[in-house]
Amino acid sequence: MKAPRVAIQGTKASFHEAAAFKYFGKDIETIECESFKKTCESMQQNEADYVVMAIENSIAGSLLPNYTLLREYNFSITGEVYLPIQLHLMALPGVKFEDIKYVTSHPIAIRQCIDFFDQFPHLQVIESSDTAACAKKISEEQLTDTVAIANTLAAELYGLNIIERRIESNRKNFTRFLILKREAVEEAHDINKASICFQVGNAVGTLAKVLNVFAEERINLSKIQSMPVLGRRNEYNFYVDIEWENFDQYDRALRRVLKYTVNFNIMGEYVKNDQV
């Protein structure tokens, strides 16, 4: 059986590839893309079977541009995976901490380690587009004065030594990734989570009516995110993740909320997977 082709933002050994491994296993073909938009284009052009896309981080919050991509490309969310974000300082073998002049990583990773670097103000921080790409550059260019902030996967793949472990300021740091497929597939009966999107009229209590329906049907709202509708004042898209124990309650809730919403869209139905 052919290995699934999975598009990720970043290079091999990035957190996106780690998330892909956690969801699919390691028998996959990783399609490296320089941006989230490129991952979507890759699947749209049938160069990938799936996209793994970060959607929120427990410290940095929601990745709002990715909600726009979800709406633009209209791919189906077929699963999710939560990944603990553990950040390590890594360098070429033999390099000691006192040899270091530069630190390079993704800006979000750098911000998540700010307490560590406050202790070493002489280090020059250089931002990059990807954690694993920084490790790769150190390896390829044999940079003896530079360290990268990345994960253990990157250290192993690019032959670097970890000289400081777990330098992130908050140890309870995780990222949620969505698994996207070009078209919805017939899901098993054990689905218990969905991501939906809708708009409501700009009138008193309209959104409350929708939320009350979910409460009455005992549907849990695990996330709600609003974003302005482009070019329309006071109009918003609401992106909502809902969970249930009884499928009939979910089905009944959707039928009821339709009369209070416009542009209602089920973005995906899947099995809840919130194990970090």
Which parts of the chain register pLDDT below 50? Answer: none
Q: Which CATH architecture has domain 88-164?
A: 3-Layer(aba) Sandwich (3.40)
Q: Compute the Cα dihedral for 3, 7, 9, 11 and give only its sign.
A: positive
What per-residue confidence (pLDDT) applies to 187?
62
What per-residue confidence (pLDDT) applies to 183?
87
Ranges in the chain annotated CATH 3.40.190.10: 5-85+173-181, 88-164
What per-residue confidence (pLDDT) applies to 21?
97
Using DSSP's 3-state secondary structure scheme, residue 52 falls into strand
The CATH homologous superfamily of the domain defined by 193-270? ACT domain (3.30.70.260)
Q: What is the pTM of this model?
A: 0.92
Ranges in the chain annotated CATH 3.30.70.260: 193-270
For residue 88, give both structure tokens: 């390590």
Q: Is 183 exposed, middle or buried (0-12, 13-18, 19+ CB in 10 A)?
A: exposed
β 88-91/161-164 pair status: antiparallel
What per-residue confidence (pLDDT) applies to 185?
73
Give CA angle at 35 (17, 171), nearest 5°: 50
**pLDDT tens for each residue of 40-57:** 999 999 999 999 999 999
What per-residue confidence (pLDDT) applies to 30?
98
Q: Is 73 exposed, middle or buried (0-12, 13-18, 19+ CB in 10 A)?
A: middle
Residue 194, C-beta contacts closer than 8 angstroms, at least 6 positions apart: 241, 242, 250, 266, 267, 268, 269, 270
What per-residue confidence (pLDDT) applies to 39?
98
Number of other residues whose CB lies within 10 A of the CB of residue 25: 10
Helix, strand, coil shares of the chain, percent, nearest 5, are 30, 35, 35
**pLDDT tens for each residue of 225-249:** 999 988 888 889 999 999 999 999 9
Mean pLDDT over each residue of the chain, to the nearest integer: 94
The CATH homologous superfamily of the domain defined by 5-85+173-181? Periplasmic binding protein-like II (3.40.190.10)
**pLDDT tens for each residue of 115-148:** 999 999 999 999 998 999 999 999 999 999 999 9
